[in-house]
Structure 1
């Protein structure tokens, strides 16, 4: 089942300065779709378009189920200066109309998983970048939406944090959620994504599972990195 269908003819922050062209894809239940490309390729702009945050867009973003909820986990943590970690979680639960019992259970489980339980009454603005990234992951996964939109989740995460994130990804996929994740960490993406959308200068240069990407790049046994470089060379 499609959780979101994206058809962007063009898009940008100004109508006269378009960044995206001919972007079409879907994210299905149980999928982890990797939005792959270098810095400045348009990955974050695509995510903003999916969420309706791009000032100009010619196209359509369709959520087939009108009741589909999504969680957005940004690359840069967004935190309140005067709220403790626990108060951040309480605020998110209140916005999501989560019962107190469900909130406490999920919050404590995630805090323990990411080894932040002892820090729950501290101010996250004083945390390291990696710890702040874990806070954003906890906030997103606590809500258990049907769709996760994740922007560069690996930046700042230590190996334990990355393992915990990947464990949660597997769990929510098994529960039927879909994930759209942007990253330029091709080695990790190759291991965990079910399909890929390769972006260059705001345009899709290839998409599909790894086998399809290999066929399109004419590298039958190539890594995702090698395939991406080959496709870029074909564009030039």
Structure 2
């Protein structure tokens, strides 16, 4: 995403000249208050919204240049799970493997690995209505990680997951990153991003107010205390952006 201005209305854009770059093998954390523009940025990256200015490139192409390559280069996990009610967990994964033309033997081996990592082996033949919200979220994550796309976008991945599932997710993300996938992760759980993300992009009212490694973002926030956290830095950045007014 390069110098992108966009949103739902030409008269009142949500994003103002936003640039976000995620390199292969890199995890970038996208953080901001509710309404900061994170979801709008993700929709533009997915090609669901047309930029008013600027452009979005995935795997080196824009949506207009090569629609098939653009679409197939991205996997997205939304905050709210969305599954087909009549497909089992295993059938969801099989359908994804076919949609992305993954070889059968590779898909089967990868499905087994993901089922063990997310402790879902006993639920592979279950239908979505029998699963908890956390388990449904695991299915969404498993489908995205099965693909190992050039760009993986995950919105609030930790919500509804138990501690062991979070560990499994983080390990799976490390594996995807080691294989060269670029990962854009939007989350309010800042400690996890502080430990895992290579870089952070802080959005506020549709503008980037800080960017860099967790250490660099804390420095930009003026957090000189070595014990300061990313939560402290985020609060300081937003207070400054709001003209020094305390957060409500």
Q: TM-score when scaled to structure 2?
A: 0.88
Flag structure 1 segments of 5+ consecutive residues without an equivalent: 1-5
**C-alpha deviation, 1:10, in angstroms:** 1.5
What's the counterpart of residue 223 of structure 1? 229
**C-alpha deviation, 1:97, in angstroms:** 1.0
What's the counterpart of residue 28 of structure 2? 33
**C-alpha deviation, 1:96, in angstroms:** 0.6
1:35-68 deviation digits (Å, cap 9, x = unpaired): 0112222111111111111255321012353457
What's the counterpart of residue 76 of structure 1? 80
How far apart, in 1, do the equivalents of 2:10 and 2:46 lie?
Answer: 18
SS at match of 1:9: strand
1:153 equivalent in alignment to 2:174? no
Question: Is 2:26–2:177's contact at 8 Å kept on the other side of the alignment?
Answer: yes
What's the counterpart of residue 7 of structure 2? 12
Question: Is 2:151–2:182's contact at 8 Å kept on the other side of the alignment?
Answer: yes
SS at match of 1:62: coil
Q: TM-score when scaled to structure 1?
A: 0.92
How far apart, in 1, do the equivalents of 2:3 and 2:157 lie?
Answer: 24
What's the counterpart of residue 148 of structure 2? 144
Higher strand share: 1
How far apart, in 2, do the equivalents of 1:72 and 1:41 lie?
Answer: 20
Q: In the comparison of the two structures, how many residue pairs are matched?
A: 231
SS at match of 2:234: helix
How far apart, in 2, do the equivalents of 1:17 and 1:65 lie?
Answer: 29
- CA distance change for structure 1 residues 64 and 79 in 2, over 3 Å: closer, same or farther? closer
Flag structure 2 segments of 5+ consecutive residues without an equivalent: 62-68, 244-248
Question: Is 2:59–2:150's contact at 8 Å kept on the other side of the alignment?
Answer: no
Question: Is 1:79–1:125's contact at 8 Å kept on the other side of the alignment?
Answer: no
What's the counterpart of residue 232 of structure 1? 238
